[in-house]
């Protein structure tokens, strides 16, 4: 008897990728290239040497000098607090509120609704996320650097990866409002083709919900290294 083989599950699909695919703004093909080779394309020679040194040698210990700044901090509570504040900022943004589209400032000089205010809002949330998440990672690395040798090495590795991949990550995430701008124009055109009154903006509440979904998914993606460090600290048994 031949056993049926299930198709491979896409474990690498992040929530952000799934949201963008659902909106039909990106199409992501499965890569046949091993993860290590793809990651290597993102690293230059100096980055590779630094990472090799951490993996096969010892951490520099620089983060340990900052550990006193977070001594006694409830890390789980701090991560939850920052995440809740960022989520609240997204969901309470009146520009993105589906129920407030009638009061939107998105009308241009020709009476045509424009994407510009939504783009500004998205970029503002991205700046807030980057600042807050980078701060959390630094705090967690500082604590990890005072614990076991394995955690000190992990803290050093995370710091080097942030330096090596940060610019590439920012460049990729900067494309998100571009994709959403295309989605905005697509919905606007569909409404016009359907004969909708432009002043009604019947499609706009749905677009606002889509923007919120993309921002929330981006926040989840940015927080993955934070939760990884937090889990490692918990697994180490050092407590919070």
Find the domain containing 83 and state its range.
40-235
State residue 117's pLDDT score.
Answer: 94
State residue 2's pLDDT score.
Answer: 38
The full 3-state SS of the chain, as one line of letters, equals CCCCCCCCCCCCCCHHHHHHHHCCCCCCCCCCCCHHHHHHCCCCHHHHHHHHHHHHCCCCCHHHHHHHHHCCCCHHHHHHHHHHHHHHHHHCCHHHCHHHHHHCCCECCCCCECCHHHHHHHHHHHHHHHHHHHHHHHHHHHHHCCCCHHHHHHHHHHHHHHHHHHHHHHHHHCCHHHHHHHHHHHHHHHHHHCCCCCCCCCCHHHHHHHHHHHHHHHHHHHHHHHHHHHHHHHHCCCCC
Instruction: Give domain status of residue 127, yes or no.
Output: yes
Task: Kindly report the pTM of this predicted structure.
Answer: 0.77
Instruction: Give domain status of residue 28, yes or no.
Output: no
State residue 154's pLDDT score.
Answer: 92
Instruction: Give domain status of residue 23, yes or no.
Output: no
Instruction: Give domain status of residue 59, yes or no.
Output: yes
Instruction: Give domain status of residue 240, yes or no.
Output: no
The tokens of 216 are what?
């929330």
Count up the domains in the chain and report the number. 1
Instruction: Give domain status of residue 21, yes or no.
Output: no
**Residues 193, 111: Cα–Cα separation, whole Å:** 18
State residue 239's pLDDT score.
Answer: 43
Cβ burial of 180 (10 Å; 0-12, 13-18, 19+) is buried
Return per-residue pLDDT of the chain as tens, 240 residues: 333 333 334 445 678 888 888 887 655 555 565 655 555 666 665 655 565 566 666 555 444 445 444 554 689 999 999 999 999 999 999 999 988 765 455 555 455 788 999 999 999 999 999 999 999 999 999 999 998 998 998 998 899 888 888 888 999 999 999 999 999 999 988 887 776 665 567 889 999 999 999 999 999 999 999 999 999 998 765 444
Instruction: Give domain status of residue 3, yes or no.
Output: no
CA geometry: angle 132, 136, 141, nearest 5 deg: 150
Instruction: Give domain status of residue 156, yes or no.
Output: yes
Distances in whole angstroms, Cα of residue 147 to Cα of each of 57, 150, 208: 17, 8, 44
**Residues 44, 166: Cα–Cα separation, whole Å:** 13
**Residues 56, 118: Cα–Cα separation, whole Å:** 46
Q: How many CB atoms lie within 10 A of CB 24?
A: 10
């Amino acid at each position: 008897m031949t056993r049926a083989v299930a198709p491979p599950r896409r474990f690498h699909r992040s929530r952000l990728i799934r949201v963008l695919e659902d909106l039909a703004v990106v199409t992501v093909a499965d890569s046949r290239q091993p993860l290590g080779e793809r990651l290597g394309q993102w690293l230059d020679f100096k980055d590779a040497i630094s990472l090799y040194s951490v993996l096969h040698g010892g951490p520099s210990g620089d983060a340990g000098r900052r550990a006193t700044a977070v001594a006694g901090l409830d890390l789980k509570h701090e991560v939850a607090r920052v995440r809740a504040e960022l989520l609240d900022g997204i969901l309470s943004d009146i520009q993105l509120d589906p129920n407030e589209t009638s009061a939107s400032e998105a009308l241009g000089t020709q009476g045509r609704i424009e994407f510009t205010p939504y783009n500004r809002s998205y970029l503002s949330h991205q700046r807030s996320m980057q600042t807050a998440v980078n701060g959390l990672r630094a705090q967690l690395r500082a604590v990890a650097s005072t614990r076991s040798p394995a955690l000190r090495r992990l803290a050093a590795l995370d710091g080097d990866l942030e330096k090596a991949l940060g610019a590439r990550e920012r460049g990729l995430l900067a494309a998100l409002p571009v994709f959403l701008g295309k989605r905005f124009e697509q919905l606007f055109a569909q409404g016009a083709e359907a004969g909708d009154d432009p002043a009604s903006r019947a499609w706009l509440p749905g677009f606002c919900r889509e923007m919120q979904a993309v921002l929330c998914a981006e926040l989840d993606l940015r927080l993955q290294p934070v939760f990884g460090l937090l889990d490692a600290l918990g697994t180490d048994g050092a407590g919070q």
